[in-house]
A and B are shown apart, each in its own frame.
Chain A
Amino acid sequence: MNMLSEAEADSIAQTAEVTAGCYHCGLPLPSAAQWSVEIDHVERAMCCPGCQAAAQTIVDMGLTDYYRTRSAFSATADRAALIPPELLLYDFPDAQKQFDLNAESAEATLTVEGIRCAACVWLIERRLARLPGLQAINLNVATERLYVRWSKDACKPSTILQAVRDIGYAAYPYDAARHDAQLRRASRTLSRQLFVAGLSMMQVMMYAVPAYISHDGTLEADMAALMRWASLLLTIPAVCYSAFPFFQGAYASLRQRALGMDVPVALGIGAAFIGSVIAVLRGEGDVYFDSVTMFIFLLLCSRYLEMIARRKAAGALEKLQHALPASAWRMDGFPASRATVMVPAAQLVAGDFILVKPGEALAADGEIIEGTSAIDIALLTGESAALKKSPGDNLPGGAINVTQAIVVRVSTAVADSTLATLVKLIERASNAKPHIALWADKVAAWFVAGLLLFATAVFVFWQWHDAARAWPIAIAVLVVSCPCALSLATPTALAAATDRLVRQGVLIVQPHVLEILYRTTHIVFDKTGTLTVGKPALQNLQTLSAATHSDCLRIAAALEASNAHPLAQAIIAAHEAATPVLPAFLATEVSYQAGRGLEGDVAGIRYRLGNALFVAELAGPHRDDHRADEMRSGMSAVYLASSGTWLARFDLADALRDDAQQVVAHFRKMGKELILLSGDQQDVAQHVAAELGIREAYGACLPEQKLAFVQKLQQHGAIVAMVGDGVNDAAVLRAADVSFAMGSGAALAQTHADTVLLSPHLAAISDTADVAIQTMRVIRQNLVWASCYNLIAIPAAAMGWINPLLSGVGMSLSSAVVVINALRLRRIPNRQTKVAALAPAAFGTHDEAVSQRT
């Protein structure tokens, strides 16, 4: 086996050399990459400082074996994510207390991201084993949890987190109190119940076979009795232990004066078991132990599938929530001193001064006191472009500071911030959730009530007609009908579909999604981050002089090389994505003027890149006819000029997702009404809608307006699906009948959406819609089959025509058909790869270049 993994590792090493990708993570190397690490006496190129640091640590620790044995590339060691200042928070005495085990040692469960192969497990455990004071390490690969126990004197929590992060894995404390213990206990109990039911089913079936195959009289009475007693003994654990949740559920629903699906299940199991026990004791009559155990086993199977799918969804959501800032740099002595202290965000009060570095998110609402920077508030307003903010401007918490460090005076405590207000809005919307979901329960209750009445009627009839047969026949009705097929029909199909969608990167958080999505009439899209990538991209490069297209791009990219502004990033991305690869220029003496542009020398010539006014100071006045048009269509224009000559105009706009067109077309073909609601300007929304072929578009919508719009649609009988991104969408996501949140978006929106898309492809939504249709088809087939079966079997049982063999075989056959039919949904069709290949190539590479940089 070791040989095999070495061979694999070799092939990876070769791939890395051939494609000239990063040796650590395998991503393509940026054109100006100057990072490398010497591994096994060979200088290996790295794509970023993060990967370099991780690789260097691995080499320095003497863990180079990792590269020899790994069978997959490591996760990219994104520097910003790797060394978050929050780590220090865990060293505070208050914070440390949560880890305490006893006087000497402490323990913690950490979530580790980026485990790709066996070598990762080895690497993490080796690295931690060398930390002084560490007492126990246990890495659970399946759940990506790392358990550590350490001595409090010799080690600090942040040291452990830092050690894991040093070698390129993101780790953070896992809030065990919230989910873990409870979830793990539930999963362990269910797997035990399943095991007991399965074992007991197989063995009981074995004892039942002789009775089925023997003709009358060939099976000795003693032997038959022995088999029955053995079956009885083995059915007891299945009924008392494995079927316990059904009895519990039935009791709970009866206490609420409702008839849930658990009631006939519990009644069927109970009646069949008690009837069989009586038959065994009396030594005559039919026994149904095989039916009982098989029924319990099949039902538990579907519950188990469902639980696994849920757990995967919950784990992924928990990871996403860590995107919100938990700490802030407070400047206690400001303005006299500039010293900063790291504090938990919850401790901030109005009047505190905090330092927000570039790339960090604001922990609370506040006013800028010092510094001018581009601020990205897409999370709250849905506006795509970062805005220039200067002292005196108010910023909402959650806004991301893009370019320069700023000092902010906190205006409200975290609990009263804009974000918190939005959360309240979400809660209000959640109370107004439509009651469609209750419909299914009502139908089930009626069926159950009808079945119970019928069984009673049959019992009464036979009591009067032939009292000796009344009890077995009533049981036969309950067992044969045993809503087995009916109660399996929906949950197995839903569980299979959910499982398949999870594998495709779609997390279904609420169980009603597939049912409702199928009947959806209106689909409402948000614009920024949903139909568009949410970041500007170069749409058009117009040369204004004799200079070539590629020269202009190279000069502009050189000037912007060290600029973090989103527009600059877009130009750099366009340069890197250009084919054939353009060699980079180097710009010198670059100076940046906030809100205007930048100036610098490339190959001895002075250039300016920025807005028209700024560039005109160097190049002289220029009349641009197209300018008015671009303003209308939502583009931002950036100009490049040298002294006296206008060279080029770069048109930048939020790029559409490469599959947006295809998804819109798909839904239109399905006959759904498509609507675009955006926080952006009306003309921008209109432009995007026109490009995609969406007829209705409404711009400049506040969260309240979006909510009101969706509620109005619902009042007119529409079933609304909402696809959104960003906290401003959270309320409307909650109010919509079914909602999707894009996984790359705001964490809050995701927790309030019914469905989370982890993949950056919008096509996942049309896939989900397809799965919803298939699922409903399968459910309908299952229900039709189950109804037909019940229509024939129940009267037959009521007439007393069904013997144990037929009833057992019929029951298992009907449930097997239902389960197998449902399992068809787990298969992922190959269609998807074809669709991906068909996407316009140029657009695709562009999009990728942008997403890789982020």
Chain B
Amino acid sequence: MEALYLLVPLSVAVVFGAIWLFFKASDSGQFDDLKGPAERLLQDDDRPGQ
């Protein structure tokens, strides 16, 4: 059970890390458009625009 003394604080750190990551992604506008990128992926353009 001693491992918990390391794992519990570690899990707290991981949660704060996740929150930091989420804020960063949210700032970069990643969650503004949840539909577009998925659809753009399907349109492989073989001939780049002139």
Contact = CB atoms under 8 A, between A and B. Distances in A.
A195 interface: yes
Contact of A203 (B15, B23, B41, B44): B15
Contacts of A1: 41-42
B4 A122 contact: no
A154 interface: no
Interface stretch (A223-231, A281-289, A402-410): A223-231
Contacts of A143: 32-33
A130 B47 CA distance: 13
A126 interface: yes
Contact of B40 (A122, A130, A192, A227): A122
B4 A191 contact: no
Contact of B43 (A119, A184, A207): A119
Given A200-B15, A207-B8, A191 B43 contact: no
B15 A199 contact: yes
Contacts of A203: 11-12, 15
A223 B34 CA distance: 42
Given A192-B26, A226-B5, A234-B12, A117 B19 contact: no
A214 interface: no
Contacts of A126: 45, 49
Interface string A139-155: 11111000000000000
A735 interface: no
10 closest cross-chain pairs (CB), A and B: A118-B39, A141-B36, A122-B43, A140-B33, A141-B35, A142-B35, A142-B33, A129-B49, A118-B42, A230-B8
Contacts of B32: 140, 142-143, 184, 188
Contacts of B31: 188, 191
B-side interface size class: 20 to 34
A233 B1 CA distance: 21
A2 B44 contact: yes
Contacts, number: 80
B9 A230 contact: yes
A142 B31 CA distance: 10
A220 B5 CA distance: 12
Given A1-B42, A2-B44, A234-B12, A130 B36 contact: no
Given A69-B43, A142-B35, 13 more contacts: A2-B42, A118-B42, A121-B39, A129-B49, A130-B50, A143-B32, A188-B26, A188-B31, A196-B19, A196-B22, A203-B15, A207-B8, A230-B9
A237 B23 CA distance: 13
Contacts of B23: 192
Contacts of A117: 39
A141 B41 CA distance: 13
A600 to B, nearest CB: 50
Contacts of B39: 117-118, 121, 141
Contacts of A56: none
B8 to A, nearest CB: 5
Interface string A62-93: 10010001000000000000000000000000
A6 B11 CA distance: 47
A223 B7 CA distance: 12
A223 to B, nearest CB: 7
A737 to B, nearest CB: 38
Given A118-B40, A143-B33, A230-B9, A192 B1 contact: no
A223 B15 contact: no
A130 B45 CA distance: 14
B5 to A, nearest CB: 7
B43 A223 contact: no
A141 B34 CA distance: 8
A367 B22 CA distance: 61
A191 B19 CA distance: 12
Contacts of A119: 43
A121 B44 contact: no
Nearest to B41: A1
Contacts of B43: 69, 118-119, 121-122
A237 B26 contact: no
Contacts of A188: 26, 31-32
Contact of A234 (B1, B5, B15, B26): B15
15 contacts: A2-B42, A2-B44, A69-B42, A118-B40, A118-B42, A121-B36, A121-B40, A122-B45, A140-B32, A141-B33, A142-B35, A143-B32, A195-B19, A200-B15, A233-B12
Contacts of A192: 22-23, 26
Interface residues of A, number: 38
B44 to A, nearest CB: 6
Contact of B12 (A121, A196, A230): A230
Interface string A660-690: 0000000000000000000000000000000
A74 to B, nearest CB: 15
A174 to B, nearest CB: 15
Contacts of B18: 199
A390 interface: no
A5 interface: yes
A191 B31 CA distance: 9
B22 A195 contact: yes
A434 to B, nearest CB: 40
B28 to A, nearest CB: 11
A226 B11 contact: no
A233 B44 CA distance: 47
Nearest to B9: A230
A226 B36 contact: no
A118 B43 CA distance: 7
Nearest to A126: B49
Contacts of A195: 19, 22
Interface string A168-197: 000000000000000010001001100110
Given A142-B32, A199-B19, A230-B12, A223 B4 contact: yes
Interface string A233-245: 1100100000000
A227 B41 CA distance: 45
A523 B11 CA distance: 59
A69 B42 CA distance: 9
Contacts of B34: 142
A223 B42 contact: no
A230 B8 CA distance: 7
A241 to B, nearest CB: 9
B2 to A, nearest CB: 10
A768 B44 CA distance: 43
A196 B22 CA distance: 9
A195 B15 CA distance: 11
A184 B35 CA distance: 16
Contacts of B41: 1
B19 to A, nearest CB: 6
Among A5, A122, A130, chain B packs the most CB atoms within 10 A around the CB of A122
Nearest to B1: A223
B45 to A, nearest CB: 7
A65 B32 CA distance: 28
B37 to A, nearest CB: 9
Contacts of B8: 207, 226-227, 230
A220 to B, nearest CB: 8
Residue of B16, B23, B34, B49 with highest tally of chain A CB at under 10 A: B49
A292 B45 CA distance: 51
A237 B45 CA distance: 45
Contacts of B26: 188, 191-192
